[in-house]
A and B are shown apart, each in its own frame.
Chain A
Amino acid sequence: MFNPQRTQKIAFFFLFLATLLIVIPVGLIVVIIIQKGLPAINWQFISDIPRQGMRSGGIFPAILGTIYLVLGAIIFALPIGLLAAIYLSEYAKDNFWTRIIKLSIVNLAGVPSVIYGLFGLALFVVFLKFGASILSGSLTLGIMILPIIITASREALESVPYSFREVSLSLGASKWQTIRHIVLPNAIPGILTGTILGLGRAAGETAPILFTVAAFYLPRLPKSIFDQAMALPYHLYVISTQVPNVDEKIRYGTALVLLTLVLFMNLIAIIIRYRFRKKKKW
Chain B
Amino acid sequence: MRKFKEFIIEKLILICGIASIFFVILIFLFLLKEGLSVFKTITPLKFIFGKNWYPISEPAQLGILPLILGSLLVTLGAAIISIPIGVACAVYIAEIAPLKIKEILKAGIELLAAIPSVVLGFIGIVTLVPWVKNIFNIPTGLTALSGSIMLAFMATPTIVSIAEDALYSVPKSYKEGAFALGATHWQTIWRVILPAASSGILAAVMLGIGRVIGETMAVMMITGNAAVIPHSFLAPLRTLTATIAAEMGEAVVASEHYFALFAIGIVLFVISFVVNVTADLFLHKGQ
Contact = CB atoms under 8 A, between A and B. Distances in A.
A207 B21 contact: no
Interface stretch (A46-54, A57-65, A251-259): A251-259
Q: Is the interface of B mostly helix, strand, loop or mixed?
A: helix
Nearest to B89: A19
A212 to B, nearest CB: 10
B215 interface: yes
B106 to A, nearest CB: 10
Interface residues of A, number: 87
Interface string B159-191: 010000000000000000000000011110110
Contact of B115 (A110, A175, A259): A259
Interface stretch (B26-34, B42-50, B130-138, B229-237): B26-34
Interface in A125-164: 126-127, 143, 146-147, 150
Interface residues of B, number: 86
Contacts of B85: 18, 21-22
Given A19-B92, A112-B241, A233-B118, A103 B277 contact: yes
Contact of A30 (B10, B111, B116): B111
A124 B202 CA distance: 37
Contacts of B277: 103, 106-107
A112 B186 contact: no
A126 to B, nearest CB: 6
Contact of A204 (B33, B116, B214, B268): B116
Q: Is the interface of A mostly helix, strand, loop or mixed?
A: helix
Contact of A117 (B244, B272, B275): B244
A87 B244 contact: no
A122 interface: yes
Nearest to A81: B16
A29 B33 CA distance: 42
Interface stretch (A5-13, A67-75, A185-193, A218-226): A5-13
B273 A107 contact: yes
Interface in A160-210: 174-176, 200, 203-207, 210
Given A84-B19, A118-B31, 12 more contacts: A18-B86, A19-B105, A81-B16, A87-B13, A104-B24, A112-B216, A121-B248, A126-B253, A203-B116, A236-B118, A240-B122, A266-B111
27 contacts: A4-B186, A16-B96, A21-B85, A22-B108, A22-B109, A30-B111, A32-B127, A81-B16, A83-B12, A83-B13, A91-B10, A104-B21, A104-B23, A105-B20, A107-B24, A107-B276, A109-B276, A111-B27, A112-B268, A112-B269, A113-B216, A118-B31, A147-B20, A210-B249, A236-B118, A237-B221, A262-B114
Interface of B: 2, 6, 9-10, 12-21, 23-24, 26-27, 30-31, 33-34, 84-86, 88-89, 91-93, 96-97, 105, 107-112, 114-123, 125-127, 153, 156, 160, 184-187, 189-190, 207, 210, 213-217, 221, 241, 244-245, 248-249, 253, 261-262, 265, 268-269, 272-273, 275-277, 280
